[in-house]
Amino acid sequence: MSGSKSKYKVLLAQPRGFCAGVERAIEIVEQALEIYGAPVYVRHEIVHNKRVVDTLRQKGAIFVEEVDEIPDDSVTIFSAHGISEAVENEARLRNLPIIDATCPLVSKVHKEGQNHSANARDVVLIGHAGHPEVEGTMGRIPGAVHLVTNLADVETLKVADENEVAYVTQTTLSVDDTRDIIEALKQKFPKIIGPDVRDICFATQNRQQAVRHVTDDIELLLVVGAQNSSNSNRLREIGTEHNIPSYLIADAAGFDTDWLEGVTTIGITAGASAPEELVEELLERLKECGEIDLELVAGVEENIQFKLPPELTDASNTSDGSTIKA
């Protein structure tokens, strides 16, 4: 019937959006602002999301890329992705009051790598070059660390002793790609040691599983997240691997109505650093294009919460926030 409104079924993947590590990192900045007052300085985007960064900036956070941009005595927060030892040392040498928002699951990978190194093993880090988490992890492990991103890297990899090798992984990789790389490493170094459970974090795994759950039923996948968000890119890749047109968009403004051509069922998810309000805004945008039949797809329920660092919990018990450590 001419003039009738288009209808779209929208499958909303669950879980999606904020993970426990991101919620903790944002809370750290908010509490630091409350306890110590503005400004507080954050090295690197606290999490990879412009909306989150802009909101915190409005509240008084100042984002910098390097420690030398931070004025003396200013409260200094390290982002959820973690930092290298060199960066931490630079801040400590200047006696900057530090609050570390590194996700505890990233810190766990740092510790694993350090243990391997202390046992004289070459460490293979499976991850993406240039990602801040990878830079931080490489800079936390003394001794030989080899970054591998794909199977070709495994083929050309050379280590000091093939019997003394271990691997760790970036927390936000594709479960499937990592499985293949680990398999190739095991073929090449039969004695290689790795984590009992993959280092890929629960949030990344759950979000990927939730997308896989809807791929048979959708003709378009929209992932809300930043272009530089590793876990968001992996979600988009899952759609592409299933031959579904898949787009990673920062917000509703990034949505192109041409993508709806011939589409009746749309899957929507969001990366671990994307706030739910961005998903809601995208749904509003879709409603302008047609009638929406929204279905929440049942998925894993997450109830993990990470503790805040002592610099905040101790300081909030004092009137002047005086317990922050340099």
Active site residues: 133
Task: Return the residue of 10, 19, 134, 185 that touches ligand SF4, per CB under 6 A.
Answer: 19
- Contact (CB, 8 A) for 99 and 32: yes
Phi (first) and psi of residue 137, to 5 degrees: -65, -45
Q: How far is the CB of 242 from ligand SF4 (least distance, A)?
A: 22
| By the rule CB under 6 A, 203 interacts with ligand SF4 | yes
Task: Return the residue of 12, 28, 42, 80 that touches ligand SF4, per CB under 6 A.
Answer: 80
| By the rule CB under 6 A, 231 interacts with ligand SF4 | yes
* Identity of the residue, 204 or 246, whose beta carbon is nearer to ligand SF4 in the bound complex: 204
- Token pair, residue 94, equals 């200047």
H/E run at residue 256: none
Q: How far apart are CA 239 and CA 303, in angstroms?
A: 26
Dihedral sign for Cα atoms in the order 122, 124, 129, 132: negative
| By the rule CB under 6 A, 178 interacts with ligand SF4 | no
Binding range to ligand SF4, per CB under 6 A, among 17-25, 37-45, 247-255, 287-295:
17-25
DSSP structural state of residue 4:
P
Task: Return the residue of 15, 21, 113, 194 that touches ligand SF4, per CB under 6 A.
Answer: 21
Task: Return the residue of 272, 278, 315, 324 that touches ligand SF4, per CB under 6 A.
Answer: 272
| By the rule CB under 6 A, 205 interacts with ligand SF4 | no
| By the rule CB under 6 A, 123 interacts with ligand SF4 | no
Residue 104 CA to its chain's centroid (Å): 12
Name 291's Cβ contacts closer than 8 Å, sequence gap at least 6: 5, 6, 7, 8
Binding range to ligand SF4, per CB under 6 A, among 18-26, 143-151, 158-166, 234-242:
18-26
How many CA atoms within 13 Å lie on the side-chain side of 73?
2
Q: How far apart are CA 318 and CA 299, in angstroms?
A: 41
| By the rule CB under 6 A, 134 interacts with ligand SF4 | no
Interacting residues with ligand SF4 (CB under 6 A): 19-22, 80, 103, 105-106, 171-172, 201, 203-204, 231, 272
